[in-house]
């Protein structure tokens, strides 16, 4: 069947906080279905939790293959990209081992007091601002940027530049392909300069540590180092900003949710896991893979060379796995959500993202117990064409 006859993906939704209605229907009736990607390529969309988990963990579905010339893509990816995000073993194994030292549980725990101080400083400014105050401007955007910049060692004055570049890079609009590639080129050139600066003037940051690894061994190339930098900057900023915005909106939709966190902040870690499951911040285009051989999934034969898109958002609402899956239950104890992926590409920064969400939500509920959205949700404007769905601004009163 020609790709033009398949439904266009991403599906449209009238409520940015809820998944498209197609997911529930497909899970029940056609868990492996054909869709058309934004550039016109056909792909298999996988919607059941068990199947999504299987595809994410099955090395017969390749990430690296989407970087081949002419391969189906959602976001424009440079041919032969050396980003950890699109590598297969053994290259992925080697690079992930090198960079995972920065994301150990001990290091993330050590970062928490700094994240708490940054959050308090930003909320001090929000408290002093005229109401309504924009949560995106005061917290949801600057906090993830500040944390990832400190981790990498990016000077604060350079933030506006790389923020603009990553904004463009994560746009999947077909008309923006050249702009995406231009933005990636500018960010790569910036990182190349920063890497050389770390070589001559080392610091205590992750980029310096990786530069030292490059200089002392042959296990890391310049291209891989640059690619890791822009991958971490883009994912660490955009994903957390969007997820935090969704989390706050979901909590405020029913005031009792926010009030319970204010009354007992110890409930925040469990609530964060449920907010991660429920969130539609990521629109589900980042997990694309190419089948390296024939594989059968839920009775459907996927042929070698086919594009396969495991939908984490759909899997996270699977009624076979989550009781009352369509409901937000901030006390949900058993929560095997796939928001951070699964298998070798499980998000390397997942624990950092969790800590940022826990700190931000706890601080908001503690300091602003009467926090509320200062406009109707239907009046909120959303960023269009991005891999991460977030509001342009969120006016808050308290």
Q: Which CATH number goes with the domain that contains 389?
A: 1.10.630.10
Q: Which carries the bigger pLDDT value, residue 187 or residue 81?
A: 187
Q: Total structural domains in the chain?
A: 1
Q: Which carries the bigger pLDDT value, residue 239 or residue 124?
A: 124
Q: For residue 272, what pLDDT is reported?
A: 98
- Helix or strand run (H / E) with residue 367: helix 350-367
pTM (2 d.p.): 0.91
Residues near 240 by Cβ (< 8 Å), separated by ≥ 6?
143, 144, 353, 356, 357
Q: Which carries the bigger pLDDT value, residue 397 or residue 232?
A: 397
The parent domain of residue 326 ranges over 3-397
pLDDT tens across 11-23, in order?
988 899 999 999 9
Burial of residue 216 (CB within 10 Å: 0-12, 13-18, 19+) is exposed
pLDDT at 218 over 90: no
Of 147, 146, 155, nearest to 197 by C-alpha is 155
């Amino acid at each position: 069947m020609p790709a033009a006859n398949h439904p266009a993906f991403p599906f449209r939704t009238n409520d940015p906080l809820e998944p498209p209605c197609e997911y529930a229907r497909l899970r029940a009736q056609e868990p492996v279905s054909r869709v058309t990607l934004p550039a016109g390529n056909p792909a298999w969309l996988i919607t059941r939790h068990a199947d999504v988990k299987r595809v994410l963990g099955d090395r017969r579905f390749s990430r690296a293959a989407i970087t081949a010339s002419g391969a189906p893509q959602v976001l424009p990816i440079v041919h032969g990209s050396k980003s950890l995000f699109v590598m297969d073993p053994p290259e992925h194994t080697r690079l992930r081992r090198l960079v995972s030292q920065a994301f150990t549980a001990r290091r993330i725990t050590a970062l928490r007091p700094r994240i708490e101080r940054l959050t308090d400083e930003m909320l001090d400014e929000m408290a002093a601002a005229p109401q309504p105050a924009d949560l995106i401007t005061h917290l949801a955007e600057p906090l993830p940027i500040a944390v990832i910049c400190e981790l990498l060692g990016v000077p604060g004055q350079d933030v506006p530049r790389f923020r603009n570049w990553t904004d463009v890079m994560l746009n999947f609009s077909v008309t923006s392909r050249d702009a995406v590639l231009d933005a990636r080129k500018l960010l790569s050139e910036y990182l190349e300069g920063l890497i050389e600066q770390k070589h001559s003037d080392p610091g205590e940051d992750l980029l310096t540590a990786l530069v030292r690894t490059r200089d002392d061994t042959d296990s890391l190339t310049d291209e891989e180092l640059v690619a890791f930098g822009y991958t971490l900057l883009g994912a660490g900023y955009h994903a957390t900003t969007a997820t935090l915005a969704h989390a706050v909106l979901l909590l405020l939709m029913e005031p009792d949710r926010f009030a319970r966190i204010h009354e007992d902040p110890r409930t925040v870690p469990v609530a964060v896991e449920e907010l991660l499951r429920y969130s539609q911040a990521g629109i589900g285009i980042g997990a694309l893979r190419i089948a390296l051989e024939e594989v059968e999934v839920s009775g459907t034969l996927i042929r070698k060379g086919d594009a396969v898109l495991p939908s984490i958002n759909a899997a996270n609402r699977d009624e076979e796995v989550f009781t009352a899956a369509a409901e937000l239950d901030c006390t949900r104890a058993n929560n095997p959500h796939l928001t951070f992926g699964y298998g070798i590409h499980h998000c390397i920064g997942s624990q950092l993202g969790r800590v940022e969400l826990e700190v931000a939500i706890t601080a908001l509920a503690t300091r602003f117990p009467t926090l509320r959205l200062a406009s109707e949700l239907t009046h909120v404007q959303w960023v269009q064409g991005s891999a991460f769905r977030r509001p342009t601004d969120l006016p808050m009163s308290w």
